[in-house]
Amino acid sequence: MNEQTAFVTHGQNGQDTQSQPIIRVENLSYAYPVEDSDQPKQALSDVNLTVARGEFVGIIGHNGSGKSTLSKILNGILSPDSGDAWIEGMNTKDPEKIWQIRKTAGMVFQNPDNQLVSSVVETDVAFGMENLGVPSEQIKEKVTEVLDIVRMSDYRKARPHQLSGGQKQRIAIAGILAMQPDCIIFDEPTAMLDPNGRAEVMKTITNLNREHGMTVLHITHYMTELVGADRIVVMDGGRVVATGTPREIFSQVAMLKEIGLDVPQMTELAYLLNQDGYDIPKDVLEIPEMVEALCHLK
Amino acid sequence: MSLKIEHLDHVYAQNSPFEFKALDDVNVELENGHFIALIGHTGSGKSTLIQHLNGLIEPTSGTVYLNGVDIFNQSKEDLVKTRFSVGLVFQYPEHQLFEETVAKDVAFGPKNLKLLEEEIQERVKWAIEMVGLDYEKMKDVSPFELSGGQMRRVAIAGVLAMKPKVLILDEPTAGLDPHGRDTILGQIEKLHKATGNTVILVSHSMEDVGRYADRILVMYKGKAVYYDTPTVVFRHVDELEKMGLAVPEVKYLMRALKKRYPEIDDDIFTVEAAKAEIERVFGGERDV
């Protein structure tokens, strides 16, 4: 076993792990076997990545670029062919740590309907804790607390199937929060939601990160959702091809288009105006900035 | 083909504790040949409405006329014909692929039309190419070996091969990356322009709606609240937001600019149009 794992004790926000990155990925490679073929399909090639405590990191890349494979390895669903992934110092290859890893790095997926198990919101949120045998008084308190964080307290007794998509995702997030994870991995949580649902879920994720210090790894195809991220990781063909702040990444419009990705509409507009010789900063991300930049022209 | 929806009501689980009114007196006439975006919050009735348009579910009251014919008051044979002329692509249609090869899967619909074998093969080739796939490379491949985006396109090809006069797609780009999204919507637009068919696109992306549609139908709590051009519908920014919807980001920018520069036209919702308008108003300010 690698020496780094030896001196790190895992634990919920343990003092001893403060300076360690929560997620650390080194030289990770993975290939899917292909039926009737000796040639496996390479999904990840030599990926390196760290996510620090409290960071909000976005991952973008086209379908098949390796994003979901990476998230499955972080969660111990897949085991890498070579290289390692650590969550709070725990190697995701270690079968004995698997439950602790999944508790430490919670995951929220695309389809809210596949994540809710109970017929009442509060029992759904309590599901994970009940499996762990948490005393019922404690469960009640925790449910109250996490429903408050996702602003769904009024729906405690509601039936999940009567909720909107955005509300269902917030309940799924509450269920993860109840397990007291140190970080949450969101795998396209807004892909199936209407505009309002998308806004609700993004507000919840941003709030978790900013107000509650939750470490967030957010995989998405909606570039505007990452305008406020600390860092963006761009994946293509199973490799990390760029990392940087949203401004650094989105201002590379040509590179992103080349690999089949979008940029936020404001950045695209700035890029087009720039090409026509207008003096607009290339890293404009949001509407107020664009208005400011245009006002300077007049 | 025109679709006239008249006093359409649909109540799920009527007379039970779970009774739910999904459609509430919907009245709208969708003229022939438009690219119509259907938008609305989750549960607004979009999916229930489109399933009425080809007779898949029956209304509680009211009806739908396809080219003047009441589709719920016709013989069974004619209802089958209605289903052939109104093609419906469900959400995640790739879950419905089942054949051994791509060509066989796409041929399933046309075979049911009892066409000549030659015509079937022609349509299969046409449909596979229409969704941007290489017929020769794809025809003998198992659909289950394809990527998610390719599977989606094969499933859409299966409906296109029926050559429906009205093509309805329920969130055909959900979960696809930007490139996959542009490919599918671009091909649908190309088909629409080439054949003049009516397209009804259910979408949650206001940017896509602004880019492709020439009409928008807005559903809210089971009612059809707006049916007009994108220019007119997107003027209702505040109302759309109250309905859980939004307008394209560019529209918000133009609205903010208009407050400072009243001469700006804010009936704009695509990046290209915004660029042209900004250059018109701010022209001469460039440093070249």
Q: pLDDT per residue over B252-285, tens digit each?
A: 999 999 999 999 999 999 999 999 999 999 886 5
For residue B41, give the chain A residue with the closest CA: A194
The mean per-residue pLDDT over the stretch A124-129 comes to 91
Determine what percent of chain B falls in helix, strand and coil, rounding each to the nearest 5.
Answer: 45, 20, 35
Q: Is residue A262 in some structural domain?
A: no
The mean per-residue pLDDT over the stretch A223-231 comes to 95
What are the boundaries of each domain within chain B?
35-58+77-231, 248-288
Q: Is residue A218 in some structural domain?
A: yes
Helix, coil or strand: residue A281:
coil
Q: What is the pLDDT of residue A37?
A: 75
Q: Is residue A287 in some structural domain?
A: no
Closest approach of chain A CAs to the CA of B257, in angstroms? 6
Q: Is residue A81 in some structural domain?
A: yes
Contact across the interface for B286 and A63, Cβ inside 8 Å:
no
Q: Is residue A19 in some structural domain?
A: yes
Q: Is residue A98 in some structural domain?
A: yes
Q: Is residue A259 in some structural domain?
A: no
DSSP state string for B108-155? HHHHHTT--HHHHHHHHHHHHHHTT--HHHHTTS-GGGS-HHHHHHHH
Range(s) of the domain holding residue A97: 3-245
Compute the distance between CA of residue A18 and CA of residue B225 in angstroms, rounded to an integer: 54
pLDDT reading at A158 higher than 90: yes
Enter the ipTM: 0.86
Q: What is the pLDDT of residue A34?
A: 77
Q: What is the pLDDT of residue B177?
A: 87
Closest approach of chain A CAs to the CA of B68, in angstroms? 33
Q: Which of B150, B184, B240, B249 is best to mutate for the A interface (most A CBs within 10 A)? A: B249
pLDDT reading at A186 higher than 90: yes
| CATH code for position A76 | 3.40.50.300
pLDDT reading at B209 higher than 80: yes
Q: pLDDT per residue over B119-132, tens digit each?
A: 999 999 999 999 98
Residue among A193, A196, A260 minimizing CB distance to B177:
A260
**Stronger pLDDT, A161 or A82, i.e. the higher one:** A82
| E strand map for chain B | 3-12, 20-30, 35-39, 61-66, 69-70, 86-89, 166-170, 198-202, 215-220, 223-228
Mean of the per-residue pLDDT values of chain B: 93
Closest approach of chain A CAs to the CA of B252, in angstroms? 8
Q: What is the pLDDT of residue A9?
A: 38
The mean per-residue pLDDT over the stretch B101-117 comes to 92
pLDDT reading at A13 higher than 70: no
Q: Is residue A241 in some structural domain?
A: yes
**Stronger pLDDT, A95 or A33, i.e. the higher one:** A95
pLDDT reading at A298 higher than 90: no
CATH H-level, domain B35-58+77-231: superfamily: P-loop containing nucleotide triphosphate hydrolases (3.40.50.300)
